[in-house]
Amino acid sequence: MPEGDTIYRSAVTLHAALAGHQVTGFRTVLAHLSRVDDDRPVAGRTVEGVASRGKHILMTFSGDLILRTHMRMHGSWHLYRPGERWKGPARDMRIVIATARFEAVAFRVPVAEFRTAAALARDEAVQSLGPDLLDPAMDVAEALRRLRALGDTPLSEALLNQRALAGIGNVFKSEICFEARLAPTTPVGALDDPTLGRVVEIARRQLRANAPDARAAALSAWRGGRRTTGRANPAEGLWVYGRAGAPCRRCATPIAVTPQGPDTRLTYYCPACQTGSQGAAD
């Protein structure tokens, strides 16, 4: 599933390509979007902006119309020049938004709906989200309050709870626990306030390091690869995720992996480095 950094980069790229331009064509295979387009045509409107909210992308059009999409496991937005051949198969197309300069194509997007601003303000899927880790104005105190309310929930599962913190997925979940030197099974309630605050700060730093500034990103593709270690070698970009059996980059102990949570999602960790319930500085 795309995580907050990936969604942010997609929104930044879509915004740079489409914002301020008139829609010249709209197509969709989704009947509920077609019905809205029949009554309130998208073509002729101006794209006012594209932004991310957690794992949601919000595309705002003139005339009080907002397209909300969520990628789930396999969805993605692509950008093409007019007439350029798509890299995704036509059978996977769900939405096409065309301007004179670009064509934005949503492939295999399972969640897509039009909302007015007022309806979006009441939309449970968006309004229930916790503080967005990529929002410069993120309310850290609220994030800590929501995490603390999860009580006995294991830390790794709490980090995936979008109602507590918006943007973390399976990769960052494992990486954050490792950098904080906390066992992923540690109950949130066992962490003191300074330690839980450090977890949130690590989460913010890791996601922000993988989401380039909007001005720098412009229309360029992100080719740096996800990285949490700070190391220049792309092969050493992650601490633990996907490295089961490989030596820990800190202590050489083999990285372990275990399924967790109701969806049995895999969590990677170092049995030697991640033993306590209190954070430790490097």
Q: Is 41 a catalytic residue?
A: no
Which residues is 112 bridged to in the sheet?
69
d(CA 51, CA 272): 40
Q: Is 87 a catalytic residue?
A: no
Strand partners, 56: 53, 70
State how far the Cα of 263 lies from the Cα of 249, in Å rounded to an integer: 28
Cα separations in angstroms, 101 against 42, 58, 62, 98, 203? 17, 20, 18, 8, 36
Q: Is 2 a catalytic residue?
A: yes
Q: Using CA atoms, how far apart are residues 154 and 57, in angstroms rounded to an integer?
A: 29
Whether 130 contacts 146, CB under 8 Å:
yes
DSSP secondary structure code for residue 228 in this structure = S
SS3 144: helix
CA atoms within 13 A on the CB side of 204: 17
Which tokens in the block code for residue 170?
Answer: 């399976």
Active site residues: 2-3, 55
